[in-house]
Chains A and B, each alone.
Chain A
């Protein structure tokens, strides 16, 4: 789905459900899409706000099923992290959102995430010596690896969703005209994009069911805006 289709669906929905319904390109680019995308990404990663007491399980969790992974697949990237051999710290990638998995540079050995209170137990383990069973913590500076001289680590991570941008040109008081050369299409699949549109519309007070939105989308495809 292109960003133009997204924008058209949102304009259509706003026009149908709001008096004088209109969404400016700037509102679409800078407010609605970033918030809706981030909200949907948070939902797929597992909203900890929905945890219950003594039961840290969200209704939807990253990795819970292949379907959820499939939705996030456009955001899952791999990189090799260089680790400072003295401090054991490697900064987060610039677009980093959440760790998917971490493993060693040579061979597929696991680098485990641990929490600070358990560091000394892992560090002093004689059953699983830290040299052969490296671990990492999360800190403000980035990933803190033990042993510090681990060298490199392979990281599979979920990146922040890239911005969705409806580029346009505007002459005088004429309506803005879509410009694909300055636009950026969403990376999400069509069904996931519908979920994002539902969230974006909710932000302007248009609360639609998913299937109503699907109807709008097919209207636009069949008859145009």
Chain B
């Protein structure tokens, strides 16, 4: 389903039909709630996988590969990639599962980088290096790559759990259909909460919605 179609579906649910020009639950507002709803759905999928299969994983349908991510130098031998959004926080590496580098001249892709946990960061330099592998770790919206190679001529491709490109409303919303009801229920609760909250409509200097 297109992101914009799902947003329209949610708005119609909240307004019980086509929203009017005065609607405060705007397309932009629903779009900002969507990553949270996708996170809730992915977490439910993760829990379902453990409950049903006994294995922790998130279904492939939740994953998106973002390409042509620029690589910039952060420190000596430390390179930085900015992700389109902060990966969701489930599992050790389910949030961002894979990152490869692309040589734009030869179009070759590197082998996936080896992820380090924050604990491993404290001692990995004392360990033997892994041949032909780039090590990396993620912090918030950034991925840091440890390498003596000059990486800024390459671009990165990151595969991570994401609803897709939130800035493109006409992109596909990467969620399997069986998890849409979880997202819809989450959004319905949040957005009807906003809609039903009493508003201070008087301009009297008091932040009050009721007077006695």
Contact = CB atoms under 8 A, between A and B. Distances in A.
B202 to A, nearest CB: 9
B28 interface: yes
A29 interface: no
Nearest to B199: A118
Given A115-B203, A116-B203, A117-B203, A128 B21 contact: no
Contacts of A113: 22
Contacts of B26: 127-128, 133
A112 B29 contact: no
Contacts of A133: 26, 28
B60 interface: no
A196 to B, nearest CB: 29
Interface of B is mostly: loop
Interface string A93-105: 0000000011100
A103 B21 CA distance: 9
B32 interface: yes
Contacts, number: 19
Q: Which 6 A-B pairs have the closest CB atoms?
A: A128-B28, A117-B203, A110-B21, A127-B28, A128-B26, A127-B32
Contacts of B21: 101-103, 110, 112
Contacts of A112: 21-22
Nearest to A118: B203
Interface of B: 21-22, 26, 28-29, 32, 203
B21 to A, nearest CB: 5
Interface string A80-104: 0000000000000000000001110
A57 to B, nearest CB: 13
Interface in A106-120: 110, 112-113, 115-117
Contacts of A116: 203
A101 B22 CA distance: 10
Given A127-B28, A128-B26, 4 more contacts: A113-B22, A117-B203, A128-B28, A133-B28
Nearest to A100: B21
Nearest to B202: A117
A133 B29 CA distance: 12
A113 B28 CA distance: 18
A110 B29 CA distance: 15
A128 B26 CA distance: 8
Contacts of B203: 115-117
B211 to A, nearest CB: 9
19 contacts: A101-B21, A102-B21, A103-B21, A110-B21, A112-B21, A112-B22, A113-B22, A115-B203, A116-B203, A117-B203, A127-B26, A127-B28, A127-B29, A127-B32, A128-B26, A128-B28, A128-B29, A133-B26, A133-B28
Nearest to A132: B28
Contacts of A117: 203
Query: Which of A102, A103, A112, A113 has most chain B Cβ within 10 Å?
Result: A112
Contacts of B28: 127-128, 133
Nearest to A56: B201
A127 B27 CA distance: 9
A115 B22 CA distance: 12
Contacts of A110: 21
